[in-house]
Amino acid sequence: MLADPRIGATGDIDGDASAGILAVALQRDDAVAIVRVSGVDPVTHAPCPCVKTLSLGFGSSPYGVALDVAHDRVVVVNQGLPPGEPTMPLGFPGILPSLSVVRLSSLTEIARIPLYSAFDPDGLLFFAPALVAIDPGLNLAVVIDQGDPYGTNEGGAMVVDLTTNRVTAWFSAGTAYFTSGLAIDPVRHLAFVSNALGDPNQNPPDGQPYLGSLTRINLSNLSQPPVAVTTNEFPNGVAIDPGTVSSKHSAIVLNTQSNDITAVNVDNPALTVTMPFAASGGNLALDIAWQPDAVLGLVLTGSAIPADLGGNNAFIIGIAPARLP
């Protein structure tokens, strides 16, 4: 057991299957846990499975995590504590959100990068950094914020240079509300951010839903404006098909409310296709992962594996390359 069972005990989790390592944010304990499912502990050389925990300090409130085993590191989004936190003494100034860079082999924090310079003195803007992903080739991390960091009530994304340990670019979500998912294509150096509530200016006919969107950010050229495309209802998780089994190269978005999947061509986001996803029996799919695979004698681009809420099930879906844009 990594933490005492309670609401908000853990945040995000990331894993490296080939290395047999998991990173788990222990939000209520202000710590990050590294779980090795095989091999030996790099410090004690004891056989694994084994767990090591690193405290990130009072009020850090870690949530998002991203592993980069090749560069011996894990990055952790610390959400901090806002001014006036009711559990704190009167006049509590707050603890600003930050990004911790932790060396895996020694489990030591080697950098703590501020994500914002100050709280809004009027208390109108609120920060809610959540998920993080790494582009190891460019040595960049992308963090999405689900709060109001730009005064637009939209959320957005920021790019952190892991060489200089500074935030180098900020992107509001444009016309999209509530950033909800994040994935990076490390081959083409693109970041994809799902926006659950889509364009607030949309005016659907009576009885028709509001649609979400997916934003593509070019990490190789941060001055290039992001590209946004429409998905279906309430997109959440995003996964990247690296195109290792076929020539198709897609970002796969899980639409929770409409119970389907939108595939977006990463090179030409205007090419999209939405496919039904049979999460029946009251299941509510919340997130998605991608495993390139070939099963049942059919060459598939991959298997989409959403984790769902109703019933705590996992669904494995084979998608043939011909169905992708």
- Condensed to tens digits (0 to 9), the pLDDT of residues 6-54 reads 666 788 999 998 899 999 999 999 999 999 998 888 878 888 889 999 9
> Averaged over 273-293, what is the pLDDT?
71
Distance between CA atoms of 162 and 22, rounded to whole angstroms? 21
Among 39-43, 119-123, 234-238, which stretch is predicted with the lowest mean pLDDT? 119-123
> Averaged over 211-226, what is the pLDDT?
93
Averaged confidence pLDDT in the chain:
83
Sheet holding 272-276, edge to edge: 235-241, 250-255, 260-265, 272-276
Whose tokens are 């590209």? That residue is 227
Alpha helices (runs of H) in the chain, residue ranges in sequence order: none
Q: Does the pLDDT of residue 88 top 60, yes or no?
A: yes
Q: Does the pLDDT of residue 270 top 80, yes or no?
A: yes
> Averaged over 258-281, what is the pLDDT?
83
CB 33 within 8 A of CB 50: no
- Residue-level pLDDT at 32: 97
| Burial of 230 from C-beta contacts in 10 A (0-12 / 13-18 / 19+) | middle
- Residue-level pLDDT at 298: 32
The secondary structure of residue 40, as a DSSP letter, is B
> Averaged over 67-75, what is the pLDDT?
97
Q: How many CB atoms lie within 10 A of CB 153?
A: 15
Among the listed residues 4, 28, 25, 5, the one whose alpha carbon sits nearest the alpha carbon of residue 14: 25
According to the per-residue pLDDT averaged within each range, which of 95-99, 145-149, 211-215, 286-290 is highest? 95-99
The β-bridge relationship of strands 317-319 and 302-304 is antiparallel
At 120, the pLDDT band (50, 70, 90 cuts) reads: confident
- Residue-level pLDDT at 302: 42
CB 183 within 8 A of CB 190: no
> Averaged over 117-126, what is the pLDDT?
76
Distance between CA atoms of 57 and 103, rounded to whole angstroms? 16
- Residue-level pLDDT at 112: 98
At 59, give phi and psi (nearest 5°). 80, 5
Q: Does the pLDDT of residue 66 top 90, yes or no?
A: yes
At 299, the pLDDT band (50, 70, 90 cuts) reads: very low
- Looking at per-residue pLDDT, the higher value among 249 and 188 belongs to 188
Among the listed residues 178, 148, 190, the one whose alpha carbon sits nearest the alpha carbon of residue 256: 178
Instruction: Tell me if residue 70 falls in helix, strand or coil.
Output: helix
User: In sequence order, which residues have a C-beta less than 8 Å from that of residue 193 and are 6 or more positions away?
Assistant: 142, 144, 157, 173, 179, 181, 182, 214, 215, 217, 238
Q: Does the pLDDT of residue 193 top 70, yes or no?
A: yes
Q: Does the pLDDT of residue 155 top 90, yes or no?
A: no
- Residue-level pLDDT at 91: 82
Concatenate the DSSP letters of all residues of 231-278 into one string. Answer: -SSSEEEEEEE-SSSSS--EEEEEETTTTEEEEEESS-TT-EEEEE--
Q: Does the pLDDT of residue 93 top 80, yes or no?
A: yes
At 159, the pLDDT band (50, 70, 90 cuts) reads: very high
> Averaged over 109-121, what is the pLDDT?
91
Distance between CA atoms of 251 and 249, rounded to whole angstroms? 7
